[in-house]
Amino acid sequence: MTAPTIDLKAGPLHDLPTPEPESPVRTRKPYRFSTLCATVENPDQKDQYGSSSVPIYQSATFKGVGNAYDYSRSGNPTRTHLEHHIAKISSAAHALTVASGMAALDIILRILKPGDEIIAGDDLYGGTNRLLTYIRAHGGVIVHHVDTTDSASVLPFLNPDKTAMVLLESPTNPLLKIVDIAAISKDVKERAPNAIVVVDNTMMSPYLQRPLEHGADIVYDSATKYLSGHHDLMAGVIICNRDDLKKQMAFTINSVGNALAPNDCFLLLRGTKTLALRMDRQQATSQLVATYLHGLGFSTHYPGLADHPGREIHGRIASGNGAVLSFETGDKEMSERIVGAARLWGISVSFGCVNSLISMPCVMSHASIDPKIRAARGLPEDLIRLCVGIEDPVDLIDDLEQALIDAGAIAYNAQQNKYTRVLPSTNEELNRAVQKLGLGDSDDQEWLVSAPGKVILFGEHAVVHGVTALAASVDLRCYGLATPRNDGKVSVHFADIDNFYHEWDIDALPWDAVTPIPDGEDHPDILDQVLMDAVAAGPLQKLNEAPKAKAAALAFLYIYLMLGNSRRPSFNFAARGTLPVGAGLGSSASFSTCAATALLLVNRAITLPPPPQPTTTDPAVAAPHVHVSHQGRRFIPPSVAERVNKWAFVAEKVLHGNPSGIDNCVAVFGGALAYTRAGFGFGGKVGMHQVQGFKSLRFLLTNSQVPRDTKKLVAGVGALKSSEPELVDGIFKSIQSITDEARRALSDPELSRTELLSALAALIRENQEHLITLGVSHPSLETIRATTASYQLSTKLTGAGGGGCAVSLIPDDFQQDTLDKLLADLVRENFVPYPTSVGGSGLGILSPYTPPNLKQEPQPQVTAPGQVTPPETPGADAGDQQLRLSFEKQSMTNLARWAQDLGRWVYV
Ligand SMILES: Nc1ncnc2c1ncn2[C@@H]1O[C@H](COP(=O)(O)OP(=O)(O)O)[C@@H](O)[C@H]1O
Ligand SMILES: C[C@@](O)(CCOP(=O)(O)O)CC(=O)O
């Protein structure tokens, strides 16, 4: 048996630390790349102490004369180690290390003389381009930019007397075009043998591509990228096999003094040890990301994709596809939104780091190229570059998906049960067709939303000034329906407020008065008075005779203008509810919640998550999963609820001036809440806290039918507080202890039911006394109190008072016939009683994912006497208004049932 020869191809010019074969039978193969990376050994530079890690020789000078080192500009032991290591892993004879990748190119370009010609690619890194432009202007070098992805395009410029250098980059950055380095090098050697072929290998690193083996003379890398891998240093490396070139470049480095400093040499040496490991992970994830984007239909540039034009050439030259990819969205603004929405993907130039990065080359790394030249070179302005790191691929794809959703680049497609691409508006018709397919998030989507009213059990008015209030949702709701129109108008229809309808030309709205809210920021605490005034003076100018509708329209338009500048959606918003308006049951907050939700949905400022996976317990399925029926509860994510709540509060401020925020919290979150406004000091825990124990309690709400104005009543208490601070402060303190006591009672498991009910009854009476002192009761409310008291019930006003509603606690043993009698008494006195249940769901959205055949065709209802037929929405065809016509026809008593039967509702 003959001993196999050792394959020296992997590193013939440098001493590999591969041991000799031990015996003819037990052979040893040369070490593979990752082993070479991890083993930093230089037989010529043994450490005197045997240190495992190369020491940092942080010394500018070295003593003595005629020794190996004298001055760190010309040589430093740490640098020698590094250069030896780089040469070894690159299978090169020589390596030089300098202060940055651009410093490396600078050293290489100094080989040229005035009059020399360079042929360079036309899709180069922006910094390369800038330096070439500089030497053209200041060094008298002639630069030809050609499309090097077509090898033949180099030929006409190859001149044996003039061509001194051919500068290549493959794959190109950021379009990932492939250059046939081997073919061009061969042509250069044949036609201009004196020219040097230089390759920027940064995108690949020596692990994936070794251009010296394909005919290149000099290869350089920005070692800031993959070689170091951690974005904690800047460095450039140059490798070559030719002694003359090495000598010349080493001379320049010494002359200009840009060799890599000892500390950075140490860091770079450490980084290279994990090069293969990092790149394996990074490129595996890149393949997943590229496949994901490609699958969504984005034009994606990555050599690992089957349809990549240069795939075959790349496969011959390189042994991997790298970890940079780019994709086009077709819309620069959309790309900006995607980049801005990414969280895990850091917005940054550069690549090669363990952390993933996202950027838009045209505004970042390639911004130094003139836009006209960028266009001429086919660099799309909307291009997004992704540089994949070592994070978990699932997290990276999740984050990217979320950014695409947030930016409106993809939307849930109910028919395909997956996210699909939303085509940019330049392709309007196709866009609409695709969007129609996905009921989830299209411009043709009708959105039906609803939110409950509330009953404040304790603490109204005081809550405005920082006292804790207890409130719960009631089973009376407001509904809001957004129906698209196609005529450049936006309209509102408030059936409950004298059937008010009004429409506006979107372009005639006071857009100039809008101060846009920076991305990612919320509406400021204070309303924008300029915009309020502009809306009041413009679109609402002639509506003075309908003050309630005007106030609601102001709230709607204010948010419309604040949210809608980029989309300016054309739609009708219809609102109606089963709640009495202006009776203290929070109709304004439930209206505000519906309006805010509809506006956010139409503007795509919120999106719903995809529906849960259907149940599967099939063991053959990788992850069997049981779907528990929650009847839509907890489907709307907290982040969406928070967002809606913020905007609902904005609408509440428009309507009420200085509301506490409790009403909108209940309308959005449902259940029962203890709410304490921030910025005061009554001792309650600031914020919103769920309260249990309400749900099993029965309440009677009685509408006095006396209209009142919340804004005025709230302002009245404010005025009293200013004029009699001590009195009001004392009342507020007492109300705080009432709510504290009520919470304690509700959460005390030891308290008997009877004790709980009598404690709550006493607290109700006490709270009402304080409200009387604050001046917000009304004779009608006192009459209700007296009537209910004759049935031994405790009653207080709820909400703003001054009329409106009263709330009475119904004990468990209260007989139905007694209740019927009480109701009859109240009706006789011209009050409207509502026996209610409390603590139900908050914001609801009719699921857009209900398949159309599951949406029952709503039966037209007989219009209740006195109900006016709503005006048609011009500009929307009947097909687009399926829900709207039916919505507006329902009688008040049938509205809740009708809505429920439409399909699946999802709730906060
Ligand atoms: N269904 C609705 N449609 C339109 N606007 C509404 C509706 N419900 C309430 N609003 C707005 O809210 C105002 C009522 O607020 P408010 O007096 O505080 O009553 P409440 O105590 O019911 O919240 C109305 O005047 C109107 O501007
Ligand atoms: C009086 C107040 O505490 C509740 C107002 O309720 P309503 O407007 O009566 O539904 C004001 C507020 O909390 O903003």
Answer yes or no: is the C-beta of 576 below 6 A from any ligand 1 atom. yes
Expressed in angstroms and rounded, the spacing between residue 648 Cα and the centre of ligand 2 is 14
Q: Which ligand is nearest to the CA of 497?
A: 1
Q: Which ligand is nearest to the CA of 589?
A: 1
Q: Which residues contact 305 (CB under 8 A, 6 or more apart)?
A: 290, 291, 294, 311
284 with 245, same domain? no
Cβ burial of 855 (10 Å; 0-12, 13-18, 19+) is middle
Answer yes or no: is the C-beta of 453 below 6 A from any ligand 2 atom. no
Four-point Cα dihedral 368, 372, 373, 375, nearest 10: 110
The closest residue, in CA terms, to atom 13 on ligand 2 is 660
pLDDT on residue 115: 94
- Encoded amino acid at 484, one letter: P
pLDDT digits (tens, 9 = 90+) for 22-43: 565 666 678 999 999 999 988 7
**pLDDT at 90 > cutoff 70:** yes
pLDDT on residue 628: 64
Helix (H) / strand (E) containing 396 = helix 393-406
The closest residue, in CA terms, to atom 17 on ligand 1 is 582
Determine how β-strand 489-494 pairs with β-strand 672-676. Answer: unpaired
**Contact criterion met (CB below 8 Å) for 330 and 423:** yes
Q: Which ligand is nearest to the CA of 707?
A: 1
Expressed in angstroms and rounded, the spacing between residue 529 Cα and the centre of ligand 2 is 22
d(CA 215, CA 270): 29
**Three-point CA angle 267, 269, 273, nearest 5°:** 115
Answer yes or no: is the C-beta of 575 below 6 A from any ligand 1 atom. yes
Report the pLDDT averaged over residues 250-264: 98
d(CA 410, CA 326): 17
Does residue 572 form part of some domain? yes
Answer yes or no: is the C-beta of 714 below 6 A from any ligand 1 atom. no
Report the pLDDT averaged over residues 479-486: 93
Report the pLDDT averaged over residues 516-529: 83
**pLDDT at 664 > cutoff 90:** yes
Answer yes or no: is the C-beta of 478 below 6 A from any ligand 1 atom. yes
Report the pLDDT averaged over residues 608-633: 65
Answer yes or no: is the C-beta of 379 below 6 A from any ligand 2 atom. no
Four-point Cα dihedral 50, 56, 60, 62, nearest 10: 0
pLDDT digits (tens, 9 = 90+) for 44-66: 888 889 899 999 999 999 999 99
d(CA 116, CA 165): 8
pLDDT on residue 412: 80
Which atom of ligand 2 is found nearest the CA of 658? 14
Locate 518 and state its tokens. Answer: 């920076």
124 with 235, same domain? yes
**pLDDT at 856 > cutoff 90:** no
Answer yes or no: is the C-beta of 584 below 6 A from any ligand 1 atom. yes
d(CA 284, CA 723): 71
Answer yes or no: is the C-beta of 797 below 6 A from any ligand 1 atom. no
Report the pLDDT averaged over residues 7-12: 39
d(CA 574, CA 586): 18
d(CA 318, CA 219): 14
Does residue 149 form part of some domain? yes
> Residue 44's CB: how many other CB atoms inside 10 A?
9
Q: How confident is the model at residue 425 (pLDDT cuts 50, 70, 90)?
A: low
Four-point Cα dihedral 844, 848, 849, 852, nearest 10: 120
pLDDT digits (tens, 9 = 90+) for 736-746: 999 999 999 98
pLDDT digits (tens, 9 = 90+) for 359-397: 998 887 777 677 777 777 778 999 999 999 999 999 999
Expressed in angstroms and rounded, the spacing between residue 485 Cα and the centre of ligand 1 is 25
d(CA 432, CA 587): 36
Answer yes or no: is the C-beta of 804 below 6 A from any ligand 2 atom. yes
- Considering Cα of 330, then 336, then 342, then 347, what sign does the dihedral take? positive
255 with 378, same domain? no
Expressed in angstroms and rounded, the spacing between residue 711 Cα and the centre of ligand 1 is 11
pLDDT on residue 429: 43
**pLDDT at 862 > cutoff 50:** no
Q: Which residues contact 725 (CB under 8 A, 6 or more apart)?
A: none
Which atom of ligand 1 is found nearest the CA of 799? 21
Report which of 296, 389, 307, 366 is spatially closest to residue 338, judged by C-alpha positions.
296
333 with 460, same domain? no
Q: Where is the domain boundary, 242, 257, 273?
A: 273
Q: How many domains does the chain have?
A: 3
Report the pLDDT averaged over residues 647-671: 94
Does residue 157 form part of some domain? yes
93 with 172, same domain? yes
Q: Which residues are catalytic?
A: 73, 125, 200, 225
Share of the chain above pLDDT 70, in %: 88
Mean pLDDT, the chain, as a whole number? 88
pLDDT on residue 6: 35
User: In testing the pocket of ligand 2, which one of 454, 456, 476, 771 has its CB within 8 Å of the most ligand atoms?
Assistant: 456
**pLDDT at 440 > cutoff 60:** no
pLDDT on residue 437: 38
pLDDT digits (tens, 9 = 90+) for 625-634: 565 667 777 8
Expressed in angstroms and rounded, the spacing between residue 580 Cα and the centre of ligand 1 is 9
Answer yes or no: is the C-beta of 708 below 6 A from any ligand 2 atom. no
573 with 483, same domain? yes
Long-range contacts (CB closer than 8 Å, 24 or more residues apart) made by 24-33: 25/1, 27/3, 30/6, 33/89, 33/207, 33/276
Does residue 430 form part of some domain? no
Helix (H) / strand (E) containing 313 = helix 311-317
Tell me the DSSP string of 595-615: HHHHHHHHTTSS-PPPPPPPP
The closest residue, in CA terms, to atom 16 on ligand 1 is 582
pLDDT on residue 376: 74
pTM of model > 0.90: no
Q: What CA–CA distances, in Å, run from 380 to 132, 149, 407, 765?
A: 22, 17, 19, 71
670 with 557, same domain? yes
Q: Where is the domain boundary, 250, 273, 296?
A: 273
368 with 464, same domain? no
pLDDT on residue 14: 47
Between 4 and 286, whose confidence is greater? Answer: 286
Location of structure tokens 């950075």? 264
Q: Which ligand is nearest to the CA of 546?
A: 1
3-state helix, strand, coil in the chain (%, to 5): 40, 15, 45
Q: Which ligand is nearest to the CA of 494?
A: 1
User: In testing the pocket of ligand 1, which one of 497, 581, 593, 714 has its CB within 8 Å of the most ligand atoms?
Assistant: 581
215 with 280, same domain? no
Does residue 626 form part of some domain? no
- HSE-CB for 557 with a 13 A CA cutoff: 33
Report the pLDDT averaged over residues 185-210: 97
Expressed in angstroms and rounded, the spacing between residue 601 Cα and the centre of ligand 2 is 27
- HSE-CB for 125 with a 13 A CA cutoff: 21
CATH code of the domain containing 226: 3.40.640.10
Answer yes or no: is the C-beta of 460 below 6 A from any ligand 2 atom. yes
464 DSSP assignment: G
pLDDT on residue 776: 97
Expressed in angstroms and rounded, the spacing between residue 585 Cα and the centre of ligand 1 is 9
268 with 280, same domain? no
Report the pLDDT averaged over residues 319-332: 95
Q: Where is the domain boundary, 231, 257, 273?
A: 273
Expressed in angstroms and rounded, the spacing between residue 891 Cα and the centre of ligand 2 is 28
Q: What CA–CA distances, in Å, run from 25 to 2, 651, 751, 849?
A: 9, 85, 87, 68
d(CA 352, CA 386): 11
Does residue 13 form part of some domain? no
Tell me the DSSP string of 862-903: PPPTTPPPPPP-TT--GGGGHHHHHHHHS-HHHHHHHHHTTS
Four-point Cα dihedral 463, 469, 472, 477, nearest 10: -10
Report the pLDDT averaged over residues 479-488: 93
141 with 240, same domain? yes
d(CA 879, CA 444): 10
Does residue 532 form part of some domain? yes
Report the pLDDT averaged over residues 812-823: 94
Location of structure tokens 């809440």? 673
Torsions phi, psi for 124 (to 5 deg): -95, 165
Does residue 487 form part of some domain? yes
Which atom of ligand 2 is found nearest the CA of 652? 14
User: In testing the pocket of ligand 1, which one of 587, 654, 713 has its CB within 8 Å of the most ligand atoms?
Assistant: 587
pLDDT digits (tens, 9 = 90+) for 545-601: 899 999 999 999 999 999 977 788 999 999 999 999 988 899 999 999 999 999 999
**pLDDT at 502 > cutoff 60:** yes
pLDDT on residue 185: 98
Cβ burial of 824 (10 Å; 0-12, 13-18, 19+) is exposed
CATH code of the domain containing 376: 3.90.1150.10
The closest residue, in CA terms, to atom 4 on ligand 2 is 799
Expressed in angstroms and rounded, the spacing between residue 759 Cα and the centre of ligand 1 is 33
Q: How confident is the model at residue 614 (pLDDT cuts 50, 70, 90)?
A: low
Answer yes or no: is the C-beta of 714 below 6 A from any ligand 2 atom. yes
Expressed in angstroms and rounded, the spacing between residue 611 Cα and the centre of ligand 2 is 36
CATH code of the domain containing 724: 3.30.230.10
pLDDT on residue 432: 41
Helix and strand numbers (H, E) in the chain are 26, 27
Expressed in angstroms and rounded, the spacing between residue 537 Cα and the centre of ligand 2 is 27
88 with 128, same domain? yes
The closest residue, in CA terms, to atom 14 on ligand 2 is 659
Report which of 607, 406, 444, 429 is spatially closest to residue 520, judged by C-alpha positions.
406
- HSE-CB for 782 with a 13 A CA cutoff: 8
Range of the domain at 384: 276-407
- HSE-CB for 705 with a 13 A CA cutoff: 10
Answer yes or no: is the C-beta of 802 below 6 A from any ligand 1 atom. no
Residues belonging to the chain: 908
Q: Give the least confident one: 93-107, 301-315, 371-385, 829-843.
A: 371-385
ipTM comes to 0.94
Q: How confident is the model at residue 9 (pLDDT cuts 50, 70, 90)?
A: very low
pLDDT on residue 100: 97
Share of the chain above pLDDT 90, in %: 68
pLDDT digits (tens, 9 = 90+) for 753-806: 899 999 999 999 999 999 999 999 999 999 999 999 999 999 999 999 999 999
Locate 546 and state its tokens. Answer: 């309908």
User: In testing the pocket of ligand 2, which one of 454, 455, 457, 460 has its CB within 8 Å of the most ligand atoms?
Assistant: 460
Answer yes or no: is the C-beta of 118 below 6 A from any ligand 1 atom. no
Q: How confident is the model at residue 518 (pLDDT cuts 50, 70, 90)?
A: confident
Q: Which ligand is nearest to the CA of 582?
A: 1
